[in-house]
A and B are shown apart, each in its own frame.
Chain A
Amino acid sequence: EVQLLESGGGSVQPGGSLRLSCTTSGFTFNIYAMSWVRQAPGRGLEWVSGISAIDGRTYYTDSVKGRFIVSRDNSRNTLFLQMNTLRAEDRAIYYCAKMKWAQWLADFDYWGQGTLVTVSS
């Protein structure tokens, strides 16, 4: 059974940092691209960042470029999102999502339950 479990969310002041983790099981982690997708309270889905399994190339939505860093540790089957210089508009539930293929880009075929990030003074 494919499982993705996010952790690391919480409350932080504007300008602060958080590191999200997504621990996975039930599939061969190192052969699938992975992404982070967020959802602000009461709003729709927004893709944030992703990483290819083939070459480790990373991708970001414009609003987080230069502030967020996505990475993966294939030995630990874990995806990370380092979030720096957080802003109020980054407040959202952050979902880890497995992508259907190794290469970039594809649909998101499995999702974690999400972790809430709150940015407030």
Chain B
Amino acid sequence: DAGITQSPRHKVTETGTPVTLRCHQTENHRYMYWYRQDPGHGLRLIHYSYGVKDTDKGEVSDGYSVSRSKTEDFLLTLESATSSQTSVYFCAISESDTGDPSGTFGSGTRLTVV
């Protein structure tokens, strides 16, 4: 997926442990997003960022925090992982400065909380 790298691609973690997922872009775009995707649901927005140190909550932000100290990196942290956070997490960037996501997603991180 052009310009976006997510790491790790797969992770298994124990309930109660903190987990950090990383999204790295090479194209210097302003807007970045974290989504989760679960069977039977559409993608749901967790948090988004509109610049360095500028972030805001999406519709399913409880239990998650984010940080963006550099334009190219957007981190998603599960403060204390729970089984309900088992999901596939996607990072996306907007190629528009207006913030309308223009469709570039990463390959996803499959997270399993046991």
> Do they bind each other?
no
